[in-house]
Amino acid sequence: MIARAMRRLFSLLLALFALPAFGHAVHHHIGERLDRAIVIALTYSNGKPFADERYRLYADGAANPTLSGRTDSAGRIVFLPGDAKRWRLATHARHGHGVALEFATPAAPSPPSLPAAPAPTGPTDASPPAAASGPSRASLALFGFSLIFGGFGLYQLWGTRRGR
């Protein structure tokens, strides 16, 4: 009887400790502005900006950072890529969350040929953020709970076989 109560308490505590795991992800969006600056927007999985955190940006093949600093209050990094096409970003918050990301900057547009194409209509800033890549929060929660309950089931199976 006591063993059953202890198992229930253990499983309840394990489930409660799994709830804060939602804040462990840092999402990113890379966009380009008309002035050819690259904008990297970083947010936590709860939507809060990854603000005032240190980052290091490396050009392809560089051992030392090409650019380093802190993200702004909206969690953005803005830089001009120059001739480098491939980049590597490394950033980690004081509490351990962060991202290590490799990406390519878009190729420079070719000069317009005569006759010039008509000017585009619509917004002049960066395109709207694309859908976040990777698993959704709900699927991560379902995966976590399935690991917890699957492990508990294996523990129960092992306990009943050991008792025989």
Q: Given a cut of 60, is residue 21 above it in pLDDT?
A: no
Whether 84 has a pLDDT exceeding 60, the answer reads yes
Average per-residue pLDDT for the chain:
75
DSSP 108: P
Decide which of 97 and 21 is more confident: 97
Structure tokens at 113: 């040929």
Collect all residues with Cβ–Cβ distance below 8 Å to 124 and sequence separation of at least 6. 34
Hey, how many other C-beta atoms are within 10 angstroms of the C-beta on 40?
23
Which comes out higher in pLDDT, residue 12 or 148?
148
Query: Quick one: average pLDDT of 81-93?
Result: 87
**Is residue 164 scored above 70 in pLDDT?**
no
Predicted pLDDT of residue 32: 64
37-69 confidence digits (pLDDT tens): 888 898 888 888 889 999 999 998 889 999 999
Structure tokens at 110: 């070719």
More confident residue, 136 or 132: 136
pLDDT (0 to 100) of residue 126: 44
The CATH class, in words, for 24-106 is mainly beta
Confidence (pLDDT) at 131:
44
Binned at pLDDT 50, 70 and 90, residue 135 comes out as low
pLDDT at 22 over 60: no
> pLDDT: is 23 or 88 the higher one?
88
User: What does the pLDDT read at residue 19?
Assistant: 53
Q: CA 26 to CA 55: how far, in whole Å?
A: 13
